[in-house]
C-alpha cells in the first residue's frame, strides 16, 4: 500500500538523518529515487525549490514526494513519517536530557556519524554532477555539448558568487535560472 510505504520510507529517512538539511539528500537518493518515486533530476530541481521556500528541507521534500506520488493524503503520510521520529526522540530526550548530554554512547556514535554524513554528501554530489553533465550516461562527447558548456559556466559562477561573494542561495538560484533561460534561447537561435 502506497500510503503505508510512504510513511515507513520517510520514517526511516527521518530516524537516520543526522545534521539536518542536506544530510538528507543521500538518503532521499538511496530510498526515494531508487524506488522510482522521484527522478534524480527532479530531486536536484526540488533542492532549489526548497531553498527558495520557507521551512526545513526534510518537511518540504517529504510533502513534495508524497504529493506527486499519491496526492495530498500521500503528502500527509510522508510528512508525518519524517516528523514522527524527531518528535518521539525529543520527547524522550527532553526527560533524560542530563543523562543524554553526558552519554558516552551518544558521543561515540556521533564520532562516526558526523564524518559519515560528510562522506555521504560527497557521494551525493558526485551523483548530482553525473545527472547534470551526463544525463544520458557517461561519455566524453557529452562534455562537448552546448548544455554541458552552459552548466560549467553557471556552476563556476555560482561557486564564485556563493563562496567568494557570500550571496544567499535564493539569489544564486535566481541568477542560475536567468542564465539557464538565456542559454536555452541562445542555443535555439544559434545552433
Binding to another protein, residues 17-36 (CB under 8 A): 17-22, 25-27, 29-31, 34
Burial state string for 133-169 with b = 16 or more CB within 10 A and e = fewer than 16 = beeeeeeeeeeeeeebebbeebeeebeebeeeeeeee
Considering only 4, 119, 138, 141, the residue that binds another protein (CB under 8 A) is: 119
Determine, following the binding rule CB under 8 A, whether residue 100 of this chain makes contact with another protein: yes
Helix, strand, or coil (residue 134): coil
CB of 18 or CB of 138, closer to another protein? 18
Rg of the Cα atoms in the chain: 19
Least CB distance from residue 141 to another protein, whole Å? 18
CB of 6 or CB of 128, closer to another protein? 128
How far does CA 23 lie from the centroid of its chain? 8
CB of 2 or CB of 155, closer to another protein? 155
Binding to another protein, residues 47-66 (CB under 8 A): 47-60, 63-64
Determine, following the binding rule CB under 8 A, whether residue 143 of this chain makes contact with another protein: no
CA pair distance 40, 132, nearest whole angstrom = 9
Amino acid at each position: 500500500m502506497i500510503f503505508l510505504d510512504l510513511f515507513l520510507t520517510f520514517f526511516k529517512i527521518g530516524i537516520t538523518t543526522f545534521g539536518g538539511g542536506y544530510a538528507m539528500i543521500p538518503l532521499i537518493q538511496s530510498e526515494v529515487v531508487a524506488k522510482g518515486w522521484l527522478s534524480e533530476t527532479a530531486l536536484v530541481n526540488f533542492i532549489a525549490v526548497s531553498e527558495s521556500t520557507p521551512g526545513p528541507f526534510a518537511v518540504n521534500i517529504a510533502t513534495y514526494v508524497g504529493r506527486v506520488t499519491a496526492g495530498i493524503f500521500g503528502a500527509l503520510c510522508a510528512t508525518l513519517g519524517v516528523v514522527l521520529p524527531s518528535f518521539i526522540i525529543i520527547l524522550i530526550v527532553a526527560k533524560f536530557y542530563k543523562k543524554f548530554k553526558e552519554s558516552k554512547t551518544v558521543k561515540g556514535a556521533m564520532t562516526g556519524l558526523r564524518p559519515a554524513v560528510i562522506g555521504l554528501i560527497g557521494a551525493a554530489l558526485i551523483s548530482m554532477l553525473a545527472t547534470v553533465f551526463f544525463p544520458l550516461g557517461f561519455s566524453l562527447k557529452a562534455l562537448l555539448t552546448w548544455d554541458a558548456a552552459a552548466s560549467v559556466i553557471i556552476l563556476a559562477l555560482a561557486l564564485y558568487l556563493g563562496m567568494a561573494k557570500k550571496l544567499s542561495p535564493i539569489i544564486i538560484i535566481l541568477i542560475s535560472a536567468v542564465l539557464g533561460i538565456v542559454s536555452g534561447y541562445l542555443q535555439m537561435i544559434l545552433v
